[in-house]
Each structure stands twice: as structure tokens, then as C-alpha cells.
Amino acid sequence: MADEPKLTHSATMILQAIDAGYVYGLSVMEATGLPSGTVYPAMRRLERDELIRSSWEHQKIADAEKRPPRKYYKLTRSGKARLEVSRKRYPLLAGLMQPPTAGAK
Amino acid sequence: MSSRPSPDSPPLRRLLLRLASLLVPHPDRQEWLREWEGEIWHLSHANNVQVRFCLGAFKDAAWLRRNTPVRERLRSQWLSSPVRCIALLSSLAALSLSLSFRLPGPHDALWREPFRDEGCLVLLSGHVPDSRTEPSVSFEQYLQIERRLPSGFTELAFYHSALQAVITEHRERIPIRIAFASEKIINLLHVPPLSVPAGSKLLLSAAAWHKYFHSDPHIVGRPVQIGGRPVMVAGLAAVGLSCMPGEPEAWLLQDESQFAAIEPGSKGFVIGRLKSPAPLHRNAPLGRSAFHCEPLVERRPMLGQLFILGVALFILPTFTRLAFGDYPAKTCSRRWIFLVLKVALVLLVVFFGTIDLAPGMGSIQPLAALIGYTLGFRWILTDQRQRCPVCLRLLSNPAKIGQPSSTLLEWYGTELICARGHGLLHVSEASTISFGSQQWMDLDQTWQHLF
């Protein structure tokens, strides 16, 4: 763990947001206040580093709500471990991010 | 009041997304677009939408592009499909062929005949390792041969070259390798005659005109001094004169009286004209004399490249195995046609490509051609082995199977799959009696629901 590169503040915020329950790009943007040009590339980088993983929403759910399916993100085990380490580096971060309301999720 | 769409209207944002998606590597493009369109659907139903959201898609797409290795991009976009692969190779072959027509050096080496009847022209030389760079016949010897003209020849001409300072009107001294000759050589070579008054005149090669006189369009008629004598620049030398032995950069055509004053021991080159084009072997002895004659114009690129090609084929097995593996006989014809096309196109690309780049590579050009042919053939064989024999697309999803410790029980190696579900390719790490280098296994219709 000590050899792994440290996460940036933005990447830690995104991990924290996903862990808090903001599980798709737009909600992560709203939770972190970061622009789309930062959030989406950062999520791709985190997915490449296997800290988060993505999955497509089931088509039936999307069809029932008459909208296109979304891509959801979730922390992996190593992502959770990295987030724990990063929280010690940014102790105020956990307090900034409240779990989303049912509608926002 | 205005009918113009607002910046964040859905059609505009969709257009921006489509534009951004062009940056995304082809295999990821659909999924990327699907994700962003999924998100934008929610944006368009919210009031706090910003067109900035869509502009962020460009950054995301650019990140994906930067982080997809070039090799992967090339492989997935251009090489995976057999049609695109052939199209790419055809484009490269067409580019290298067209460059060989447009670049002056390759064009002259390949296509231009420097003299109208080059089959009748020969170079007479003495015993020297390289008769084209080292002058080997003295002026005195030339006069002796000319007096007793050997049978089969109509005429002979002599010239010698030296590095000489050319002094311009502005007293500028330019050292140029000049060939000293009489106008006889112009007649012998059947080069178009010069319509200038008698007297010494200088013909510049195109390269010397560019290099030393900065392509001056008014150079013709300018007086210069060579060896203290006034000389007039008569024009540019014909292409053939620039590739004569000794590689002169300019020709000084002198009157017969001046030319005859050359020191008898001065060594130069002797050019002869035969009565009819005769097949001459290199260094064929000229009667009883001590001189040899050889064709004046050598078509080296073709022969040289054929030799290099032979060497590349000879050393190819040290770089890759030659076997293609075990495939069902029914798929043979398409695979062989595809293979033949690839071989033909790669040969064209390397042949013309190395000749196009030859002026910049100098003496390493043959080595570059050898490396080009060897790598080209290696790629052809490797690529052929990694293709589905049915659809000819590149196989994907390589998976390691088995363990080296279980070699006695079953094979171990890599398994690749055709993305269209035509079959599996088993590539063994080590060939055994029961399992060759690689085997193709057709997948029947029952597998189709997986694809």
C-alpha cells in the first residue's frame, strides 16, 4: 500500500462520493461540484486502476422508466482500502459529503 | 423572440457529443456514446443544464484516446477487419509508389532512362576495385585506344574530374567537382546539343544549381572563372550527365584544342558507343587490351532489392516460425488469397518505401531494406496465424489455458476466440506429439447464442 501513488484530492472526492452512494457520473458531479471534464476522465482512471468498477443498468429497468440505461459505478475492495488511507490524508472529506436522497440517487 | 436554438438545447448537445465521440478509439466509441447519451437524457430533463457538461465530453474522449496504446488503436481500427487491413496496405503501397514518381532521386533511379539508347553505351576501365568512382584510364591510354578503335565501337570519349574553385561575378569561390570534357561526349551520349556560341562553357547539375547557386533563375549566360579562365554558364546538365562515373557536379565543355592540352598521365573515365546494343557481362575484357568494359547505366535498385529480398527470406525462420497451424481444408482458398494479397502489398511498400527514403539514408539503405523485408514477412506470418479462417478477422480475447507442469496430461498455452463466434484457436506454448503449434476448432450453431 505504501508503494502505491497517492490519490489526488479530486480522485479522493470522487471515491468518497461513490462510496456515499452517488453512483453515476452526473450525481458524482453534483456531489463533488467538479465539472464533467474532470469527473468522467477521473472515473476512467480509477476504473483502469481497479479502484472502482462499472456496470450497466438492466435494460428492463430503464425501459420501464422510459429512459436510456445508465452506467453505475461501485468501489472495489482495493478502492475501499485506498479510500480509507486517503481519508486520513483528507480528514474533513467525509463530513463534506452527505448520502444522497432517494431522488438524487 | 429569437428562433435560434439556445446553447444548451438537446440537439446541439447531442451534436457536440457526436463530435466528441470521434476522438474516442473505435472499439470503445459506442459504449462511450451510450454512457454520455444516458447522462444527457437526465440533463435535458433538468433545468440546471449547462453546455459546459457536453464540452467536458471532449476532455473525457481525449483522455480515452491518449490512454489507448497506439498499437491497440491501429490493431482494432485498421488491422482487425481484412478489408481495412488490405485497404491500409494498399494506401501505403500507393503512397510509396506515388512518392517514387514525385521525388527526383527515386524517380531517376527507378523510372528515368538517363540516355535514349543506353544499351549502346559502355564504360571502359582499368583494373580498379570500383571503376565508377576511381578514374583508371590515362589520357595517353585513351588516345591509343581511340587511334585503334576496337571493333564493335563507333566512337570513344574521355573526361576527367577534379575539385575546382568556381569564381562567380561577386568574387565568391565555390569548390565544385567538375568533369573536364570536350563536346564530343555530348555527341556520343546523344544529349540534346547546346545552342550557345563556341568557347568553354559550364553545365551545372540540378543538385549543384540548387546547392551552390540557390536555384538562381538567371544563372544561364552568367560569366564565371575556372582556373583563371573565363567560362560562361550554359545551362543545366541533362539528367544522365549527373549520374556519370565520378559523380561530377558540373561539366566544363572545352574546345578540342584546349582539351588536347590535358596532361598525358591525367587519369579519367572513357565512355564508348557500341554499333548495336550487345549483352555485356560486367568486367568483360575488351579484346586483347588490358581494359574492361561494362554497361554505362546500371539498373541497380531492382537487382539489389531482389538480392536483399532473398536474404530476408533466408533469415526469416530465425525470427518466426513458418508453419500456419492446422486448419479445416474448406477454409483454405480465402486465407491463401488474403495471404497472397498481403505479401504483394508488403513487397510493394518495402520496395518503393526504401527507395523513396534512400537519399536520406545513404549507405544504410540496403540494411534498412533488409530489416523492412524481414519485419514485413514476420508481420505477415504472425498476422495470418492470428486470424479467423472463416471471416479473416483478427482473433481476440486471448486467455491462458493450462499449466506447464501439466504438459503430460494436456496442452497448455493461449486460447483465442473469433468475436463472431466462428471458432477457437488453441496456440500451444510447446509443441508435443499430440498437439502441434496451433489448432483451430470450429464452433457449431449451438454456440451462436453466446455471440
Q: pLDDT, tens digit, for every residue of B203-238?
A: 888 888 888 888 888 888 888 888 888 888 888 887
The C-alpha atoms of residue B188 and residue B121 are separated, in whole angstroms, by 9
A1 lies in some domain = no
CATH code, domain carrying A28: 1.10.10.10
- Å between A37 CA and nearest CA of chain B: 4
Q: Choose the mutation target among B8, B28, B33, B42 for the interface with A, i.e. most A CBs under 10 Å.
A: B42
A96 lies in some domain = no
A101 lies in some domain = no
- The pLDDT assigned to B362 comes to 65
Is A40 in Cβ contact with B57 (below 8 Å)?
yes
Is A41 in Cβ contact with B60 (below 8 Å)?
yes
Pairing type for strands B423-428 and B173-182 reads unpaired
A26 lies in some domain = yes
A98 lies in some domain = no
User: Which residues span the domain enclosing A16?
Assistant: 9-89
Write the DSSP symbol of residue B192: P
- The domain tally of chain A equals 1
Q: Residues B93-112: what's their mean pLDDT? A: 80
- The pLDDT assigned to B6 comes to 44
Residue with cell 513458418: B322
B43, B52, B64 ranked by CB distance to A44: nearest: B64
Q: What is the CA radius of gyration of chain A?
A: 14
Percentage of chain B modeled with pLDDT above 90: 16
Is B53 in Cβ contact with A39 (below 8 Å)?
no
- Å between B62 CA and nearest CA of chain A: 9
The C-alpha atoms of residue B83 and residue B88 are separated, in whole angstroms, by 9
Query: What residues of B are in contact with residue A47 (Cβ under 8 Å)?
Result: none
B174 or B280: which carries more pLDDT confidence? B174
Query: What residues of A are in contact with residue B57 (Cβ under 8 Å)?
Result: 36-37, 40
ipTM, two decimals, is 0.87
CA-wise closest residue to B387 among B296, B344, B450, B324: B324
Contacts of residue B209, defined as CB under 8 A and 6 or more positions apart, other chains included, come to: B215, B216, B219, B236
Please check whether residue A67 touches B, CB under 8 A: yes
A35, A39, A71 ranked by CB distance to B35: nearest: A71
A78 lies in some domain = yes
Query: What residues of A are in contact with residue B53 (Cβ under 8 Å)?
Result: 29, 35-36
CB B346 within 8 A of CB B376: yes
